[in-house]
Amino acid sequence: MCAPRALPGGRLDAHNDQLIPDRTLSAQMRDSQEVFVETAARLHFGVLDLRGASGRWFGGIGAAAPGPTLLVSAAAGERLEAEGSDAHRALDYARRFVAHYGLRGGARIRVHRALPTHSGLGSGTQMALAVGRAIAELHGLDIDAPGLARAVGRARRSAVGTWTFAGGGLVVDGGRHTGRDQGGPLLARLPFPASWRCVLAVPEAKPGVSGLDEQAAFESLPTPSDRDVEGVAHLVLMSLLPAVADADIGAFGDALGRIQEITGRWFAPVQGGSFAPGASETLIHRMRDHGAHGVGQSSWGPAVYGIVEGAEAGTRLADLLRASADHPCVVYEGAFPRHGARIRRALPPDLVV
């Protein structure tokens, strides 16, 4: 754990979990600028191992999406408070972070733009990490993404969202130790070819599994076979990663499709099929029928994605999905980000709040 720099300020009240200000709040904190943190939605391409037989479990592969993005800010204050969309969750993460590092002094958290919740886009993890990063910046603390995740209680299964917050490209999370309370290590990060475009559709559909329901779902899933788990690992190492390095979108799509097929079977007893039935499944088939590579569902959905070669192909596929009258959806299209969360001391004019 990174030891925080000692700062005068408030004290943590153990009875009501509020920061109580004192009159010695430092001028540095009082006069500090508002810190803005922007981070992209997370796409989860697949889990590696649900067994834990090798001493590690979960793990996964994924990437940051071209959109939507979350934008939060923090400024020094005499108590912890939050406003904006999903403010209650932002405040909870702020309290966890402050308590974990024993920080004094409050903060005014503002959620300018939130991610869709329960959609398979890692909204909780990105919110938690962004709030933690904003408060850390106020206190001059240099804490890496895994440290932020530990402080706010995230990455208890997959650490893919932690690593997409830290940087861009395709990431591979090595899975958490069965006996340790920490997220999995980053095993690989490869930049996507600049010409590849990701099309993400978030349909108006039943929310994905989350929270206590997600925990119960994982506990109820049957144990996958050794052959399946080994097959996924082999596909990642010998097909998926080399395809990105070689800029071979066809081979990438084939490998990701096979991974989605295998892991989809693992989750079928809970979600009703390899993909969530209804809009998600239909949109996946529609993207595949119109030439998308590497189509799939992100986590529990309902968000789905397809990967194509070139900006023109990305625009065509996005327009096709937007015109899907049978399954209305919000569509995002663009290149995969090559950076992680962005931190600024002033709101840039190009950011729409």
pLDDT at 150 exceeding the cut of 70: yes
Instruction: Note the pLDDT of residue 105.
Output: 85
pLDDT at 15: 28
138 neighbors 109 (Cβ within 8 angstroms): no
Task: Give the per-residue pLDDT at 6.
Answer: 32
Q: Using pLDDT thresholds of 50, 70 and 90, give the confidence band for residue 24.
A: very low
Six-digit token string for 63: 């990437």
Record the tokens describing residue 295, joined without a space. 């189509």
CA distances in angstroms from 155 to 27, 124, 159, 232, 310, listed in the order given: 35, 10, 5, 21, 33
Give 222-247 pLDDT, tens digit per residue: 899 999 999 999 999 999 999 999 99
Q: 21 pLDDT band (50/70/90 cuts)?
A: very low
Please say if the pLDDT value at position 3 is more than 70: no
CB hemisphere CA count around 276 (13 angstroms): 21
User: Cβ neighbours of residue 79 under 8 Å, at least 6 residues apart?
Assistant: 10, 18, 19, 20, 21, 106
- Verify that 127 and 59 share a domain, yes or no: yes
State whether 234 and 184 are in the same domain. no
Each residue of 278-294: pLDDT tens digit?
A: 999 999 999 999 999 99
For residue 347, pLDDT beyond 50: yes
Spatial contact of 151 and 100, defined as CB atoms under 8 Å apart: yes
CATH number of the domain to which 227 belongs: 3.30.70.890
Of 103 and 182, the one with more pLDDT = 103
Instruction: Give the domain CATH number at 110.
Output: 3.30.230.10
200 with 95, same domain: the answer is: no
Same domain, yes or no, for 346 and 321?
no
What is the rounded distance in angstroms from the CA atom of residue 155 to the CA atom of residue 230? 23
237: containing domain: 193-335
What's residue 210's pLDDT? 64
Asked if residue 26 has pLDDT above 50, the reply is: no
Beta carbons of 329 and 321 less than 8 angstroms apart: yes
For the chain, the straight-line distance linking the first and the last C-alpha, in angstroms and rounded, comes to: 34
Assess whether 145 and 80 both reside in one domain. yes
Asked if 37 and 175 sit in the same domain, the reply is: yes
Same domain for 128 and 228? no
d(CA 352, CA 333): 17
Say whether both 222 and 289 belong to one domain. yes
H or E, element range at 71: strand 56-77
pLDDT value of position 40: 98
Q: How confident is the model at residue 212 (pLDDT cuts 50, 70, 90)?
A: low
Same domain, 213 and 175: no
Q: Taking 90 as the threshold, does the pLDDT of residue 33 lie above it?
A: no
The DSSP secondary structure of 140-194, one letter per residue, reads: T----HHHHHHHHT--SS--HHHHHHH--SEEEE--EETT-SSPPPEEEEEPPPT
Residues 81 and 160 in one domain: yes
The token pair at 275 is 């993909």
Indicate whether 208 pLDDT > 70. Answer: no
Q: What is the pLDDT of residue 155?
A: 64
> Is residue 48 left, alpha or beta, with left meaning phi > 0 and alpha meaning psi from -120 to 50?
alpha
How many distinct structural domains can be found in the chain? 2
pLDDT digits 0-9 by tens, 307-344: 999 999 999 999 999 998 899 999 999 999 999 999 99
Could you tell me if 72 and 156 lie in one domain?
Answer: yes
Q: Does position 13 have pLDDT exceeding 60, yes or no? A: no
CB neighbours (10 Å) of residue 5?
11
| Residue scoring higher pLDDT (94 or 177) | 94
Residues 352 and 305 in one domain: no
Query: Average per-residue pLDDT in the chain?
Result: 87
Q: Which pTM does this prediction carry?
A: 0.88
Question: For position 353, what pLDDT does the model report?
Answer: 47
Q: Look at residue 306 and tell me whether its pLDDT is greater than 60.
A: yes
